[in-house]
Amino acid sequence: MSDLRYTKEDLTAAVNNAISPLVDLIKQIDAKLTAQSGAVSDMMSVSELALYLGKEKATIYAWNNMGKGPKQCGHCLWRRTDVDEWLKGSEDRRARNCNRQKLRNKALAGNDALARAMQKKIKSEHKDF
Protein backbone atom coordinates (compact mmCIF):
# COMPACT_ATOMS: atom_id res chain seq x y z
CA MET A 1 0.00 0.00 0.00
CA SER A 2 1.43 3.31 -0.99
CA ASP A 3 1.55 6.11 1.41
CA LEU A 4 0.44 9.27 -0.48
CA ARG A 5 0.99 12.46 1.35
CA TYR A 6 0.02 15.87 0.07
CA THR A 7 0.93 19.13 1.60
CA LYS A 8 -1.68 21.76 2.35
CA GLU A 9 -0.22 23.95 -0.39
CA ASP A 10 -0.52 21.13 -2.96
CA LEU A 11 -4.18 20.56 -2.08
CA THR A 12 -4.97 24.29 -2.12
CA ALA A 13 -3.36 24.69 -5.55
CA ALA A 14 -5.26 21.66 -6.91
CA VAL A 15 -8.62 23.00 -5.62
CA ASN A 16 -7.92 26.49 -6.97
CA ASN A 17 -7.02 25.09 -10.38
CA ALA A 18 -10.21 23.02 -10.43
CA ILE A 19 -12.60 25.82 -9.44
CA SER A 20 -10.93 28.74 -11.20
CA PRO A 21 -12.92 28.29 -14.46
CA LEU A 22 -16.16 28.07 -12.44
CA VAL A 23 -15.36 31.28 -10.56
CA ASP A 24 -14.69 33.06 -13.86
CA LEU A 25 -17.99 31.78 -15.27
CA ILE A 26 -19.89 32.95 -12.17
CA LYS A 27 -18.30 36.41 -12.48
CA GLN A 28 -19.37 36.62 -16.14
CA ILE A 29 -22.93 35.58 -15.32
CA ASP A 30 -23.07 38.03 -12.42
CA ALA A 31 -21.87 40.87 -14.66
CA LYS A 32 -24.55 40.06 -17.27
CA LEU A 33 -27.30 39.88 -14.65
CA THR A 34 -26.18 43.18 -13.13
CA ALA A 35 -26.29 44.86 -16.54
CA GLN A 36 -29.73 43.43 -17.27
CA SER A 37 -31.14 44.36 -13.87
CA GLY A 38 -30.16 47.98 -14.52
CA ALA A 39 -32.25 47.96 -17.70
CA VAL A 40 -35.15 46.18 -16.03
CA SER A 41 -35.20 48.43 -12.98
CA ASP A 42 -35.83 51.39 -15.29
CA MET A 43 -39.16 49.76 -16.21
CA MET A 44 -42.26 50.24 -14.07
CA SER A 45 -45.42 48.16 -13.86
CA VAL A 46 -48.89 49.67 -13.41
CA SER A 47 -48.63 49.29 -9.63
CA GLU A 48 -45.18 50.88 -9.51
CA LEU A 49 -46.28 53.74 -11.79
CA ALA A 50 -49.39 54.40 -9.70
CA LEU A 51 -47.28 54.50 -6.55
CA TYR A 52 -44.66 56.72 -8.24
CA LEU A 53 -47.31 59.21 -9.40
CA GLY A 54 -49.48 58.96 -6.28
CA LYS A 55 -52.49 57.84 -8.33
CA GLU A 56 -54.78 54.83 -8.28
CA LYS A 57 -54.15 51.98 -10.72
CA ALA A 58 -57.60 52.66 -12.19
CA THR A 59 -56.43 56.17 -13.11
CA ILE A 60 -53.40 54.77 -14.91
CA TYR A 61 -55.62 52.33 -16.84
CA ALA A 62 -58.08 55.14 -17.71
CA TRP A 63 -55.24 57.37 -18.95
CA ASN A 64 -53.94 54.48 -21.02
CA ASN A 65 -57.36 53.90 -22.60
CA MET A 66 -57.73 57.62 -23.39
CA GLY A 67 -54.21 57.89 -24.81
CA LYS A 68 -53.15 60.24 -22.00
CA GLY A 69 -50.48 59.95 -19.38
CA PRO A 70 -46.86 58.88 -19.78
CA LYS A 71 -45.75 57.08 -22.92
CA GLN A 72 -46.09 53.33 -22.58
CA CYS A 73 -43.18 51.23 -23.89
CA GLY A 74 -44.67 47.77 -23.59
CA HIS A 75 -47.72 45.93 -22.38
CA CYS A 76 -48.37 47.71 -19.08
CA LEU A 77 -44.74 48.83 -18.76
CA TRP A 78 -43.34 52.36 -18.58
CA ARG A 79 -39.76 53.66 -18.62
CA ARG A 80 -38.94 55.83 -15.64
CA THR A 81 -37.20 58.34 -17.94
CA ASP A 82 -40.35 58.65 -20.10
CA VAL A 83 -42.48 59.15 -16.99
CA ASP A 84 -40.11 61.84 -15.70
CA GLU A 85 -40.21 63.64 -19.08
CA TRP A 86 -44.02 63.47 -19.06
CA LEU A 87 -44.09 64.89 -15.52
CA LYS A 88 -41.84 67.78 -16.56
CA GLY A 89 -44.15 68.52 -19.49
CA SER A 90 -47.15 68.45 -17.15
CA GLU A 91 -45.46 70.94 -14.83
CA ASP A 92 -44.77 73.24 -17.80
CA ARG A 93 -48.43 73.05 -18.86
CA ARG A 94 -49.58 73.82 -15.30
CA ALA A 95 -47.28 76.85 -15.18
CA ARG A 96 -48.66 78.16 -18.50
CA ASN A 97 -52.23 77.62 -17.26
CA CYS A 98 -51.44 79.45 -14.02
CA ASN A 99 -49.94 82.41 -15.91
CA ARG A 100 -52.96 82.54 -18.21
CA GLN A 101 -55.31 82.54 -15.22
CA LYS A 102 -53.37 85.38 -13.57
CA LEU A 103 -53.61 87.46 -16.74
CA ARG A 104 -57.32 86.69 -17.04
CA ASN A 105 -57.94 87.76 -13.45
CA LYS A 106 -55.94 90.95 -13.93
CA ALA A 107 -57.85 91.79 -17.10
CA LEU A 108 -61.22 91.20 -15.47
CA ALA A 109 -60.37 93.09 -12.28
CA GLY A 110 -58.75 96.19 -13.73
CA ASN A 111 -60.00 96.23 -17.32
CA ASP A 112 -56.36 96.34 -18.35
CA ALA A 113 -56.16 96.46 -22.15
CA LEU A 114 -52.61 95.08 -22.22
CA ALA A 115 -53.59 92.08 -20.10
CA ARG A 116 -56.54 91.40 -22.41
CA ALA A 117 -54.28 91.56 -25.46
CA MET A 118 -51.79 89.19 -23.86
CA GLN A 119 -54.59 86.86 -22.85
CA LYS A 120 -55.87 86.84 -26.44
CA LYS A 121 -52.37 86.07 -27.71
CA ILE A 122 -51.95 83.20 -25.25
CA LYS A 123 -55.29 81.71 -26.27
CA SER A 124 -54.33 81.84 -29.94
CA GLU A 125 -50.93 80.21 -29.28
CA HIS A 126 -52.26 77.45 -27.01
CA LYS A 127 -55.56 76.36 -28.47
CA ASP A 128 -55.21 72.93 -26.85
CA PHE A 129 -55.85 74.39 -23.39
Structure confidence by residue, pLDDT tens digits, 95-113: 666 767 776 666 666 656 6
Nearest to 103 by CA among 94, 91, 112: 112
Structure confidence by residue, pLDDT tens digits, 38-85: 555 678 888 888 888 888 989 988 988 888 888 777 777 888 888 888
Residue type, 77: L
Rounded (10°) CA dihedral 61, 67, 72, 74:
80
Q: Where are the domains of the chain?
A: 7-41
State pTM to two decimals: 0.44
